[in-house]
Every structure is written in structure tokens, then in C-alpha cells.
Amino acid sequence: QQKVQQSPESLTVSEGAMASLNCTFSDRSSDNFRWYRQHSGKGLEVLVSIFSDGEKEEGSFTAHLNRASLHVFLHIREPQPSDSALYLCAVNRATGGNNKLTFGQGTVLSVIP
Amino acid sequence: DAGVTQTPRHEVAEKGQTIILKCEPVSGHNDLFWYRQTKIQGLELLSYFRSKSLMEDGGAFKDRFKAEMLNSSFSTLKIQPTEPKDSAVYLCASRLGEVTGQLYFGEGSKLTVL
């Protein structure tokens, strides 16, 4: 059964400083990875999707996938206080998988002015 | 184009009551998911529908949780009877249909069971 873990549980950075979040997964056959953001009291919004090893950039968000080490990272360039939210990693095995998306517990990011 | 709509946004129930949460997926989407979100467990899958057919019912949630999709544009999640441990945010999400497609989430229904 797929296990997805995120670290750190919470992270505080100053406005403009790079924020890096980590997500590890257990199923090496996983091929579908997304980072979501959830502001308090709101639904989840997708930030970046990545399907192969390497990097994928969407605005100020960059996902970095290394399936051999079972890691997918999210880097946030020059975060603003409005980026303070819960960040969730979601992993799926689309090919031959059961179509079930497994989420990590999340990282709470606080960006201080 | 409307996103996923969930109602009510907030619900307070007494232990033992029946509550029904509602979800309208994005128009044209074939897949619909119900998740429960708590601080301790994170997001847990309750149900997954594809073209109105129940594909997964979330195992541990079978006995008091029942999700239905009567038509392609409306789904309900019934919790009967409610228990205090059911206090959580219930999120509905939809997807066009391909397994690599992204999920679009509603803003959730926050349930408090006293």
C-alpha cells in the first residue's frame, strides 16, 4: 500500500527566501505526482504536476522528482505572505494502478513579512 | 465555468443524527471523489465514482458512510448515525476522466458532531 510522507510538518520562512518542501513515497512504480496548496477554510488548488524524473516549473513553484530515491520536492521561489498555507503532496500510479490518489499529511508553510 | 460546489459549508449535528452533504462536480467531469480531512489523518478517501458507478467505497468507512451519485451532476454523502469522531472537513473533488488528470476540489463541508 502506497505511503506518502511529507517533511517538515511546518516551515517558517521570511518573505523572499526560498522555501523547500519534501515528499517521499513508497511505490517505486508511481508515475503521477502533484503538489496542492490549501488556504485555511478553502479547497485544494493544484500548483504543479510532474510525471517524469527531473524538474517542472509553474510560475514560482518548481517540482523536482527523483523516483530512484522516492522523493519529490517542491521549491517555492520568493514566497509571499499570501503563500502561507498547507501544502499537500499527492501520488498516484496511473499505469496499471488502482487510480487512487494518496496524499501526504502536509506541510504548513508560514511566510513572514 | 463553475468549479466544484459543496453544500452546506458548515454543519453542526448532535450525536446519532443523520446528515447529508452535497456536491456538484465540474460540468462534464466523469470521476468524482469524496475525501475526509482531519489534522491527524490528513486526507482519507471515502468514495470514488466513475461515470456514476461506485468504484471504491473507502473500506473502513462502509458502515455509517454512504455516497451516492444519482446523476452525473450531483452526489451526496450520508453519514448515519453521526459520531463525534466524524467531526472533520469533507471534501468533494472531480476529474475529467483520464487517470493522469488533475482533481478539482470544492471548498469542503465542515462537520462538527457534538
Residue B40 confidence (pLDDT) above 70: yes
| Cβ separation B45–A100 shorter than 8 A | yes
Among A1-10, B20-29, B61-70, B94-103, which stretch is predicted with the lowest mean pLDDT? B94-103
Q: Does the beta carbon of A44 lie under 8 angstroms from any beta carbon of chain B?
A: yes
Which chain A residues contact residue B100 at CB under 8 A? 32, 51, 94
Which pLDDT value is given to residue A96? 62
**Segment A60-65 mean pLDDT:** 97
**Higher local confidence (pLDDT), B85 or B59:** B85
Which pLDDT value is given to residue A100? 72
Q: Does the beta carbon of A37 lie under 8 angstroms from any beta carbon of chain B?
A: no
Compute the distance between CA of residue A11 and CA of residue A26 in angstroms, rounded to an integer: 23
Residue A81 preceded by cis peptide, ω within 30: no
Residue B84 preceded by cis peptide, ω within 30: no
Compute the distance between CA of residue B113 and CA of residue A91 in angstroms, rounded to an integer: 31
Which pLDDT value is given to residue A69? 95
Which residue in this structure is represented by grid cell 515528499?
Answer: A23
Which pLDDT value is given to residue A101? 82
Indicate the average pLDDT of chain B: 91
Which chain B residues contact residue A107 at CB under 8 A? none
Residue pair B2/B52 in contact (Cβ under 8 Å)? The answer is no
Residue A72 confidence (pLDDT) above 90: yes
CA distances to A17, B23, B98, B107 from B68, rounded to whole Å, are 46, 10, 21, 19
What would the grid cell of residue B63 be?
Answer: 458502515
Phi and psi at residue A83, in whole multiples of 5°? Answer: -85, -5
Nearest CA in chain A to B40: A105
| Cβ separation B45–A97 shorter than 8 A | no
Q: Does the beta carbon of A45 lie under 8 angstroms from any beta carbon of chain B?
A: yes
